[in-house]
Amino acid sequence: MPFTPSFTDVVAYEKEKGKVISLLVSQPFAFKITLVNLLTNTLYHIPTCLLQTKLQPHEVPGFQCFKPRYMTVTSDSSVLVTTEHGVLLLRNDSWQIEPLIHPDNFWRHEELLADGDLTTAKTSIPRRLVAVPGYESVFIFIDLFSASIRVIDLAAKSVYTLCLGVSKNRYLRYQENITRCNLLNPYSLLLLESTKKTHHIIVGTDHMLLEAEINIAGMSWLYGTSFHIWFIIFC
């Protein structure tokens, strides 16, 4: 079966003796992720659809499909996948899609950008998602419409906002305890090698690249008690 022409992301999935033997490809307009086995030249298609849970009285149960965007592989070989308004979990043992941050919980103009438990947290348009070295259950992602950098902690089953940028949406209300950072339309994120206390990230926006340094003291940084962010235009 041929690919749909539109791809968003490709990640290495399996390796053998240091060589990549399989890839995951997100195909948003086909509503699926494709596993490509490079040894056998075979494709396995995984629909990114969830059983509908919120139904009107006249509706019958069915599936709601979401466009997969960016992916990252977890320490247990499961996969986190960003969609239009949420984050999905693709389990490696069954290849079943589950909601991590449910796409139905998307953030609206008049609301605060909600942190907290995975079941109640809200996102706008999550984009690039990366793992944090040294913290196997912690991932950082870009939330595009709110111009924010946010964290998913799988162990704590929580979402936390590191900093809020400059949103085009004039209705966005900021939580008082969140650090402000000079971001406008962030799209991409690269996490560089870290020391024991700091992590460096590169953030791509509409017009520039920015370098961010996050100071970390133990695990308390995740809850906002000991991190600092500086953005420096270097291009």
pLDDT value of position 25: 95
pLDDT value of position 4: 53
What would the mean pLDDT of 46-56 be, rounded to a whole number? 76
Q: Which residue has the tokens 């909600």?
A: 114
Question: Pick from 196, 191, 190: which is nearest to 221 by CA?
Answer: 196
What would the mean pLDDT of 133-155 be, rounded to a whole number? 85
State the amino acid at position 34 in one-letter form: T
Question: Pick from 143, 151, 150, 108: which is nearest to 127 by CA?
Answer: 143
Beta-bridged to residue 88, according to DSSP, are: 81, 99
- Read off the pTM: 0.80
C-alpha–C-alpha distance, residues 82 and 99, integer Å? 10
Question: Biggest alpha carbon distance in the chain?
Answer: 56
SS3 of residue 223 by DSSP = helix
8-20: per-residue pLDDT in tens?
899 999 998 889 9
CA dihedral (142, 145, 147, 152) positive or negative: negative
Cα torsion for 160, 164, 170, 173, to the nearest 10°? 40
- Give the number of C-alpha atoms closer than 13 A to the C-alpha of residue 159, restricted to the C-beta side: 24
Cite the beta strand spans of 55-144 per DSSP E: 63-65, 71-73, 79-82, 87-90, 97-101, 116-117, 126-132, 135-143
Q: Which residue has the tokens 């008690």?
A: 225
Mean pLDDT (the chain) is 77
pLDDT value of position 228: 37
79-137: per-residue pLDDT in tens?
999 998 889 999 988 888 998 988 777 766 556 667 889 988 888 888 899 988 777 88
Asked if 81 and 33 touch (Cβ cutoff 8 Å), the reply is: yes
Q: What values do phi and psi take at 130, rounded to 5? A: -135, 150
- Quick check: 74 pLDDT over 90? yes
Question: Pick from 100, 86, 101, 79: which is nearest to 24 by CA?
Answer: 79
pLDDT value of position 221: 30
Which structure tokens are listed for 108? 């609206």
Question: Pick from 92, 50, 52, 55: which is nearest to 67 by CA?
Answer: 50
- CB count within 10 Å of CB 15 equals 10
CA dist list (Å): 89 to 54, 113, 118, 165, 214? 20, 21, 12, 27, 26
191-231: per-residue pLDDT in tens?
876 666 677 777 887 777 777 777 543 333 332 222 334 44
What would the mean pLDDT of 64-86 be, rounded to a whole number? 91
